Amino acid sequence: MRKPFIAGNWKMNKIATEAADLVSKLKENVGSFKDADILICPPYTSLLAAQEAIKDSVIELGAQNMHWEANGAFTGEVSAAMLKDIGVKFVIIGHSERRKYFSETNQQVNKKIKAAISADLLPIVCVGESLEQREQQKEKEVVEKQLREGFDSLSQADLEKVTVAYEPVWAIGTGKTATGEQADQMHSFIREWFKKNFSDQAAEKLRVLYGGSVKPTNIKELIAKENIDGALVGGASLKPLDFTEIIKNSSLG
């Protein structure tokens, strides 16, 4: 049985004072809730404020991106060690917005996963197809390539540190959610891929989150599916009441 995992991706929202305020509301709402793992991923500049604010709570801290090099002349970038140093535990890698707006490739995703694990960070690796690709019924082909190239030469031990998030691009910020059925089909495809390419045991343990317009009203349908182990939540994670309801509803599946 995989423990539900609800992660909030704040994207480019919330300055430090707003982050502290949002965390304190969330903390009050979730209390010592233990039936799901809870994560927030604020932007870099609010990580320290969030780190301070989550103290003595069940909430964990993640970042939204990182560079694969440890240090050097990479203006504007942040390394895994820098994140680790300020108490970050998780890092989102290969989000579709990074792939789309910053041309991130599967090869870069691969380097980032390896660098994150070496620095003792836990990667949340995003995969997912665009609307056009789904309309051409290429969604499995696209996700398979993202997995094959993104997870190239990773070990079983590495995989134990990883969470995968399936985020169909057409469902992000659009209010269109994949149906539980559609999402579960892809989630089981993803789990099968890990069974074939890693091991049954590693694939059984792996948590695969769904992302794309997750709300308090649709989380129950999603989490009830066998291969959906939680959610990567964008917009609704900025609303403490909605995010709390998603967390609480995630353990009812």
Active site residues: 95, 167
Q: State the Cα–Cα distance between residues 247 and 230, nearest whole angstrom.
A: 9
Closest by CA position to 59, among listed 78, 40, 84: 40
Among the listed residues 120, 173, 217, 241, the single contact to ligand 13P using CB under 6 A: 173
- Least separation, in Å, of the C-beta of 176 and ligand 13P? 9
Task: List Cβ neighbours of 154 (8 Å cut-off, separation of 6 or more).
Answer: 110, 113, 114, 117, 162
- Least separation, in Å, of the C-beta of 18 and ligand 13P? 17
Number of residues that bind ligand 13P (CB under 6 A): 14
Among the listed residues 91, 232, 246, 247, the single contact to ligand 13P using CB under 6 A: 232
Which of these ranges, 51-59, 67-75, 105-113, 232-240, lies near ligand 13P under the rule CB under 6 A? 232-240
168 touches ligand 13P (CB under 6 A) = no
- Least separation, in Å, of the C-beta of 187 and ligand 13P? 16
Per the CB < 8 A criterion, the answer to whether 197 and 136 are in contact is no
Per the CB < 8 A criterion, the answer to whether 237 and 23 are in contact is no
172 touches ligand 13P (CB under 6 A) = yes
Q: State the Cα–Cα distance between residues 4 and 37, nearest whole angstrom.
A: 6
169 touches ligand 13P (CB under 6 A) = no
Nearer to ligand 13P, 81 or 142 (CB): 142
Q: State the Cα–Cα distance between residues 16 and 19, nearest whole angstrom.
A: 5
Quote the crossing angle between the two packed helices 139-150 and 106-118, to the nearest 10°: 40
- Judged by the rule CB under 6 A, the positions of this chain that interact with ligand 13P are 9, 95, 167, 172-173, 211-214, 232-236
